[in-house]
Chain A
Amino acid sequence: MLDGPELNAPVSDGSVPDGSVPDGSALTAGDIRDRVRQFLAATNPVSTPRQDFLHARFDAGLAWVHYPPGLGGLGAPRALQVVADTEFAAAGAPDNDPGGNAIGLGMAAPTILAFGSGKQRKRWLRPLWTGEEIWCQLFSEPGAGSDLASLGTRAVRDPGGDWVVSGQKVWTSLAHQARWAILVARTDPDVPKHRGLSYFALDMTAPGVEVRPLRQLTGEAEFNEVFITDVHIPDADRIGEVGDGWKVATGTLMNERVAIGGMSMPREGGMIGGAARAWREHPERRTPGLHDRMLRLWAEAEIARLAGLRLRQQLAAGQPGPEGSAAKIVFARLNQEISGFEVELAGAEGLRYDDWTMRRPAHADFFGRGPGYRYLRAKGNSIEGGTSEILRNIVAERVLGLPSEPRVDKDVPWKDLPR
């Protein structure tokens, strides 16, 4: 069902200052290291004000080295980013707090790079990377979850060629902090659902945007509901062609799945580490049944870690495969099983919950809180970013080539669909 564009397609960029197109693909780890050291010699990482430092790093092409020159990068291989990050961290340089702008960095930026105009890239990518402008994602709606393409937020063109948008979005993390949102809205209700969508950047400070916290079953509110009432969006903030919103959006979703499944960590670095520590610390809680589960979960978690390592090796070797779709399915199931195991292992302690207070965390806190929280929060892992059921459909249809279920909505104009 997802017809995403090729990820990481080479982007020819006309914004190179001197007009030439330097080929950064031949750069080596040593080259990157040299450039970072030269940069640090000229820009003191400790005495330079944080924002000034980040601006300078971006302008030197050392922000995301695989991005094109002029847009924070050098056109270098993606695998060399870690070299730059390591050098900066070792020098005690301030970072751009990537955890605080995960959607901007992981989803908005690649989309803007792949589909945005030269002007849009210039306007948005620099403050996005430095963290001056936080981004959120306005995709899901109360009536459009797994069936995202059925969404009903309407964008109507005004006589001046700009857009007036109305609708309701849901499950929006960071909406209360975001300056910008990536938004998918329906621009043509008279064609079948996938064809009538367009993709925009929405200024979250525009009149008519209202953000309300959405409290989740853990007690806190990582997410928001966003109500959009007659909000004006300039046509200049449309990303991609009118009617191409689905193509642009699926590119973004693929980035989300890669971001969720592709993290690097040491053995016992994930949720299994907490369970293993609890097992070692509490011999009195061990039973044969729990032992068998402990060993199974440890083995599966370690193998999943190795599979993630292998996935990154494939990407680094230029052999991208479909294995990334597997990572999120595995990650969701393991998080749920491990956290459930941990609550049981805790016994009477497992009956206590740390805090039901309505708080506003920026993201899930799997390492700072108790097993009860982990158990509840992990329930979201198989829903957010594509349910595990939808991911299985994608694997079955796109990887294995199995036929799709008969579709009743394929050729019907969106406005005539039963709802």
Chain B
Amino acid sequence: MSIAEAEAAGKPGERAPDLLYSEAERDLAGSLRSLLGARCRPEDVLGRLGGPGQADRPGETEPYDTVLWKAIAGDLGCAGLLVPEEQDGAGASFREAATVAEELGRAVAPVPYLGSAVVATTALLTVGDDLTVRELARGDVTAALAVGSESAPGAAFPLTARVSGPKSSDSRAGVHRLRGRVRGVADALSADLLIVPSDGVPHGLYVVGTGVEGVRRTPIVSLDMTRQLCDIDFEDAPARAIASGAEADRALQAALSAGAAAIASEQLGLADKCLEMTVAYVKERRQFARPVGSFQGLKHRLADLWVGLTQARAAARYAAACLADVDSDAPLAIALAKSYCGDLAVRAAEECVQMHGGIGFTWEHPAHLYLKRAKAASIAFGTSDAHRASLARLADLPGA
């Protein structure tokens, strides 16, 4: 649906987009859940992070599961969901993309789906970099948008990297050189390509390979062990310009909006899984000669979490529907979904740790993976507070 058609259909908030999962989405989610259930169990994810002896050296283990990603990207076609079929993609919509994010969130899967198949792909589709889009859609390469993972939709164009001018040895025209440092980038450690916003006249977006001289990625010991960040230094790195000025702004905003909407669905899936794990545990765990799940002190909190999930699901689906339908209500929908799902996921993960008692506080139990993902993701693409603050403008509720 075009924006004109969408606007003709009614005022924002009065239209009623489909908030359910389509049959195709349910099939896709089912396939992905089977795959993850076989190859990305919590103990598998924990195992990648090293046993007790390696726990203090996470940077030395492989942070992203590239084998699993090949299966998700290639076999299931998840890398190219947002890409039209004529560009080697699956020609699906943002609804399907959000459903995949939800499943990956349930598994805290250490794959670069969000950064590559959603954020970077959206940026490249916006600027029309056909060749790179095709490579990404096929799952042959992955890319990351080189911005701090906390960057929110509406953020100013980042200027920490800048164009440094060609070297004298650059014979080919069109080769640029970048200098500077970008801190705290998600999904870049496993990426083949970086999309780098850079200062210049005008500012623009550049594609840089990660394997070339002049690009240095330094892993960060990250709060979220399943989505490790890195700092990136550019020292006259060779770069290809893909957009400048207003077009670059537009591509960056589209990418960050897509990221915020998708991570809301990811948080929904994470919260759902936390509730599921916790309910299963409190049914089994007995104290005072009865399952601890029979105590109202726990039951009511779990019921409230479930109620919260019904709300979060509506918010996440609405954001996905708005992006899929190019609805002018999308900025508001994203602000609602990111703030609500982010807060709910943190609460679900915190309750998961608490209601598991002692075992939930151990390294061997996966609850901490969810807690770390939830807390970090509540900051990524803008905090809940920042997204609510944007409602002041979007819903006409100005501050003092």
Interface centre among A283, A323, A400 (most CB of B within 10 A): A400
Which residues of A are found within 8 Å of B291, using beta-carbon distances? 402-403
Q: How far, in whole Å, are A85 and B340 apart by their CA atoms in the complex? A: 35
Decide if B306 is an interface residue (CB 8 Å cutoff): yes
Decide if A20 is an interface residue (CB 8 Å cutoff): no
Decide if A366 is an interface residue (CB 8 Å cutoff): no
Chain B 251-283, CB-CB to A under 8 Å as 1, else 0, gives 000000000000000000000000100010011
Q: How far, in whole Å, are A314 and B389 apart by their CA atoms in the complex? A: 32
Decide if B368 is an interface residue (CB 8 Å cutoff): no
Minimum CB–CB distance for A278 against chain B, Å: 11
Interface of A is mostly: helix
Residue contact B400 to A310, C-beta cutoff 8 Å: no
Of the candidate stretches A53-61, A132-140, A295-303, A372-380, the one touching chain B is A295-303
Q: What is the number of contacts between chain A and chain B, taking CB atoms within 8 Å?
A: 138
Residue contact B392 to A266, C-beta cutoff 8 Å: no
Residue contact A299 to B339, C-beta cutoff 8 Å: yes
Which residues of A are found within 8 Å of B335, using beta-carbon distances? 299
Q: Find the A residue at minimum CB distance from B337.
A: A303
Q: Find the B residue at minimum CB distance from A393.
A: B299
Decide if B167 is an interface residue (CB 8 Å cutoff): no
Asked, given contacts A303-B311, A400-B303, whether A310 binds B20 with beta carbons under 8 Å apart, the answer is yes
Report which of A299, A401, A405 forms a contact with B283, defined as CB distance below 8 A: A401
State which residues 223-262 of B face A: CB under 8 Å: none
Interface residues on B, range: 35 or more
Of the candidate stretches B27-35, B124-132, B181-189, B312-320, the one touching chain A is B312-320
Residue contact A317 to B293, C-beta cutoff 8 Å: no
Which residues of B are found within 8 Å of A303, using beta-carbon distances? 311-312, 314-315, 336, 340
Residue contact A396 to B300, C-beta cutoff 8 Å: yes
Residue contact B315 to A306, C-beta cutoff 8 Å: yes
Minimum CB–CB distance for B80 against chain A, Å: 28
Residue contact B392 to A302, C-beta cutoff 8 Å: no
Residue contact B400 to A291, C-beta cutoff 8 Å: yes
Residue contact A403 to B310, C-beta cutoff 8 Å: no
Residue contact A402 to B302, C-beta cutoff 8 Å: yes
Q: Find the A residue at minimum CB distance from B13.
A: A267
Asked, given contacts A295-B392, A313-B19, A396-B302, whether A404 binds B399 with beta carbons under 8 Å apart, the answer is no
Decide if A288 is an interface residue (CB 8 Å cutoff): yes
Asked, given contacts A299-B340, A303-B336, A309-B16, whether A402 binds B293 with beta carbons under 8 Å apart, the answer is yes
Q: Enumerate chain B interface residues (CB-CB to A < 8 A).
A: 12-14, 16, 18-20, 275, 279, 282-283, 290-291, 293-296, 298-300, 302-304, 306-307, 310-315, 317-318, 335-336, 339-340, 388-389, 391-392, 395-400
Q: Which 10 A-B pairs have the closest CB atoms?
A: A267-B13, A396-B299, A307-B314, A392-B303, A395-B303, A286-B400, A403-B294, A310-B19, A306-B314, A326-B307
Q: Enumerate chain A interface residues (CB-CB to B < 8 A).
A: 266-268, 276, 279-280, 283, 286-288, 290-292, 294-296, 298-300, 302-304, 306-307, 309-310, 313-314, 317, 319, 323, 326-327, 329-330, 389, 391-393, 395-397, 399-406
